[in-house]
């Protein structure tokens, strides 16, 4: 059995040497092989590429796919999956937040016949706000999504060659890997893994970037926000019909003159707010349709170092 560990890298010079060392040690302890390490240099502006080049020169199991610019985490993963070879592929971040040593356990499950083994993050070490946001996001997405997405599962995990093949054939441009992985099916299992802090450097996801990833997840796997407009709209129609009947009764039976200017203003601002919100939601879906129909490639490879599947 051969493994291919794929690693997206964007400006990780501080942590890369230690990462390569720990990953190599882990792979040395796993039977079979030779196991591959495929790094995707996602347009790093620091010494990351030089460090990777050196690692590739030292160890034939290391190969590097260098992209022409920064395409983003998910695009880098897509590039890696397109070039990975082996009976199983593992997605692993370079910042050592996810312990490479967990791969040993993934392999055990793989040998038991699971096609997908993913890490379920317990005990995150990030700040309280980030933890609360992640917690709420995964639960909201699970509630909204049309498929049952596992809670607290990131991209870190193992996939069989068959699953990689299926994911690769999905035509989406905007890729939410952890969702696509679930979508393809096959026998899957999550195992709890503690998520450490970054060993060095800082998170490449700004709060805004995380929101975008979250939006990609929701818009790619759920149309519930679109249906919500219809539900809230029908509710408003019923409410206003009731109010209309009341107004007629008030005028002709109770002989009351109209009042409630404040209520009126509130109602108008509220309803136009809801309108704009749903226009925005529809806009978000349209923007994604637009991104998809452009059919631009997800990434561009500048050069390749070492052995990999040619595509």
Is residue 84 a contact partner of residue 91, using CB atoms and an 8 Å limit?
A: no
Q: Which two tokens stand for residue 7?
A: 């690693």
Residue 299: exposed, middle, or buried by beta-carbon count in 10 A (0-12, 13-18, 19+)? buried
Site track for Mg ion across 274-293, x = CB under 5 A: --------------------
CB of 256: closest distance to ligand UDP in angstroms? 59
Q: Which of 64, 67, 47, 53 is nearest to 7 (CA)?
A: 64
Q: Which does 166 bind (CB under 5 to 8 A by kind): Mg ion, ligand UDP, none?
A: none
Q: Which does 73 bind (CB under 5 to 8 A by kind): ligand UDP, Mg ion, none?
A: ligand UDP
Q: Which of 114, 89, 113 is nearest to 8 (CA)?
A: 89
Nearer to ligand UDP, 32 or 199 (CB): 199
Nearer to ligand UDP, 201 or 225 (CB): 201
User: What does the binding site for ligand UDP look like in residue numbers (CB under 6 A)?
Assistant: 8-10, 12, 42, 70, 72-73, 76, 93-95, 97, 203-205
CB of 139: closest distance to Mg ion in angstroms? 21
CB of 34: closest distance to ligand UDP in angstroms? 23
Instruction: Tally Cβ neighbours within 10 Å of residue 271.
Output: 12
Residues in the chain: 311
CB of 51: closest distance to ligand UDP in angstroms? 12
Q: Which does 225 bind (CB under 5 to 8 A by kind): Mg ion, ligand UDP, none?
A: none
Q: Which of 126, 190, 115 is nearest to 160 (CA)?
A: 115
CB of 129: closest distance to ligand UDP in angstroms? 13
Nearer to Mg ion, 73 or 181 (CB): 73
Residue 95 interacts with Mg ion (CB under 5 A): yes or no: yes
The DSSP H or E segment spanning 280 is helix 261-294
Instruction: Tally Cβ neighbours within 10 Å of residue 107.
Output: 21
Residue 12 interacts with Mg ion (CB under 5 A): yes or no: no
Q: Which does 9 bind (CB under 5 to 8 A by kind): Mg ion, ligand UDP, none?
A: ligand UDP
Binding part of the chain for Mg ion, among 2-10, 34-42, 94-102, 239-247 by CB under 5 A, reads 94-102
Antiparallel, parallel or unpaired: β 88-91 and 116-122: unpaired
SS (H, E, C) 199-235: CCCCCCCCHHHHHHHHHHHHHHHCCHHHHHHHHHHHH
Residue 301: exposed, middle, or buried by beta-carbon count in 10 A (0-12, 13-18, 19+)? middle
Q: Which of 109, 192, 190, 98 is nearest to 150 (CA)?
A: 190
CB of 70: closest distance to ligand UDP in angstroms? 5
Nearer to ligand UDP, 8 or 225 (CB): 8
Is residue 38 a contact partner of residue 6, using CB atoms and an 8 Å limit?
A: yes
Nearer to Mg ion, 82 or 95 (CB): 95
Residue 97 interacts with Mg ion (CB under 5 A): yes or no: yes
Strand partners, 193: 121
Q: Which does 65 bind (CB under 5 to 8 A by kind): ligand UDP, Mg ion, none?
A: none
Binding site for Mg ion (CB under 5 A): 95, 97
């Amino acid at each position: 059995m051969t493994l291919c560990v794929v690693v997206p890298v964007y400006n990780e010079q501080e942590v890369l040497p230690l990462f390569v060392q720990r990953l190599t040690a882990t792979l040395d302890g796993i039977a079979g092989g030779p196991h591959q390490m495929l790094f995707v240099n996602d347009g790093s502006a620091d010494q990351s590429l030089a460090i990777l080049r050196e690692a590739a020169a030292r160890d034939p199991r290391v190969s590097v796919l260098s992209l022409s610019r920064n395409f983003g985490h998910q695009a880098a993963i897509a590039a890696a999956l397109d070039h990975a070879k082996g009976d199983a592929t593992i997605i692993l971040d370079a910042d050592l937040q996810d312990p490479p040593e967990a791969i040993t356990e993934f392999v055990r499950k793989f040998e038991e016949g699971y096609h997908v083994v993913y890490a379920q993050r317990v005990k995150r070490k990030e700040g309280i706000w980030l933890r609360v946001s992640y917690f709420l996001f995964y639960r909201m997405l699970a509630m909204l999504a049309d498929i049952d997405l596992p809670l607290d599962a990131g991209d870190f995990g193992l996939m069989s060659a068959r699953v990689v093949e299926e994911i690769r054939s999905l035509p989406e441009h905007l890729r939410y890997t952890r969702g696509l992985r679930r979508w393809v099916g096959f026998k899957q299992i999550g195992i709890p893994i503690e998520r450490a802090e970054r060993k060095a450097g800082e998170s490449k996801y700004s709060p805004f970037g995380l929101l975008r990833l979250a939006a990609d997840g929701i818009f790619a796997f759920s149309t519930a926000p679109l249906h919500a407009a219809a539900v809230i709209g029908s509710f408003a129609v019923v409410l206003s019909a009731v109010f209309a009947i009341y107004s007629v009764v008030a005028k002709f039976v109770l002989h009351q003159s109209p009042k409630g200017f404040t209520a009126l203003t509130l109602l108008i601002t509220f309803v136009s707010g809801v309108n704009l919100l749903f226009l925005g939601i529809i806009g978000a879906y349209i923007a994604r349709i637009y991104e998809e129909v452009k059919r631009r490639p997800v990434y561009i490879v500048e050069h390749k170092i070492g052995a990999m599947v040619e595509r």
